[in-house]
Amino acid sequence: MAETSALARTRCLVTGGAGFIGSNLTRFLLEAGSSVTVLDNFVTGRPEHLPRVDNLTVIHGNIVTFAGIGELCAESDFVFHLAAQVGNVKSLEETETDAATNILGSVRLLKSCRGTRLRKLVYSSSSAIFGEAERLPIDESHPQRPASFYALSKLAAERYALLAREHWNVPAVCLRYFNVFGLPMENNEYTGVISIFFNRLKAGQPLTIYGDGEQLRDFVYVRDVARANVLAALRAEPGSVFNIGTGVASSVRGLALTMRDLTGQDVGIHYGPSRSSEVRRSVADIGRARAGLGFEPGYDLRQGLAEMWEALAVDSALPR
């Protein structure tokens, strides 16, 4: 991407930069010549997700309590805010931590950016804020009815970011991610369906689909999400909001068949009971991101899956 030259010799802060999306973004920024500081509490992020290079500083700290957040923001050209407690189910179990991290942590970061030389703050939001779709594809003006505390916390932080632009002149932009997939895979009970399926395929185990498998998702590759963050930092008007996905609907059943075919793992596909809280349909309208950012997905679902499987095969001597 030609615009990455504009990042050379800039200073970037990435909160949650050792996590799944954050580590991909951090690597992108480093390769573009930025000096990057990562702030991560390493609850889900891992130090091994990050390279050891001179232009990277890694700080073990919590966005809610880290005392030096003001100094980090004051010396940054761009702030990418990805630090969050993630998970709809987890937010029902750890609601106070969810609110403290996702809302209060975001407010604290926004306040720390007030009055600085910051060129852009890019906030990572989620398509979970929409709840069940009334229409497809989902554009940015679609009604927002969060159905979990996690989704509510992401929407609340969005609103704080946009009001911080209005009242504090913080140049904030919000990106609403749809179903992001890629490496490094997260291994926990809240991991995405693609990570779960790959782990089972690696082990030669059958895939389990909950419900009829006709649930629709918009799977967007993590490398494209990293690019979207950079485009937002360089091109977006402060105060704007963008959906980040592919605009392509994929069923969960179709995903399972594609992954089974791609990997050559002849495992069964089993069906379990539907999950009552699961969103049935979620597909992005990315017209605004195309027009306002010049964003165009570089990977379709199969290409992204193939790149993942190739990397997993190298690591574990799986068939290719």
* Residue ranges covered by each domain of the chain: 8-179+221-245+284-298
Closest CA to 216 of 181, 192, 252, 246: 252
> Is the CB of residue 213 less than 8 Å from the CB of residue 252?
yes
- Residue 83 one-letter amino acid: A
> Is the CB of residue 215 less than 8 Å from the CB of residue 271?
no
Domain 8-179+221-245+284-298 superfamily per CATH = NAD(P)-binding Rossmann-like Domain (3.40.50.720)
> Is the CB of residue 177 less than 8 Å from the CB of residue 245?
yes
Q: Is 15 helix (H, G, I), strand (E, B) or coil?
A: strand
CA angle 72, 65, 54 (to 5 degrees): 35
The per-residue pLDDT string of the chain (320 residues; one tens digit each, 9 = 90 and over) reads 666 789 999 999 999 999 999 999 999 999 999 999 999 999 999 999 999 999 999 999 999 999 999 999 999 999 999 999 887 767 677 788 889 999 999 999 999 999 999 999 999 999 999 999 999 999 999 999 999 999 999 999 999 999 999 999 999 999 999 999 999 987 655 568 999 999 999 999 999 999 999 999 999 999 999 999 999 999 999 999 999 999 999 999 999 999 999 999 999 999 999 987 789 999 999 999 999 999 999 999 999 999 999 999 866 545 44
The separation between CA 66 and the C-alpha centre of its own chain, rounded to angstroms, equals 22
Q: At what angle do helices 301-316 and 252-263 cross, to 10 degrees?
A: 40
CA distance to 53, 95, 126, 177, 190, per residue, from 225 (Å): 23, 27, 12, 8, 20
Residues classed as catalytic: 150
Closest CA to 220 of 292, 142, 124, 316: 124
Backbone angles phi, psi at 94, to 5 degrees: -125, 60
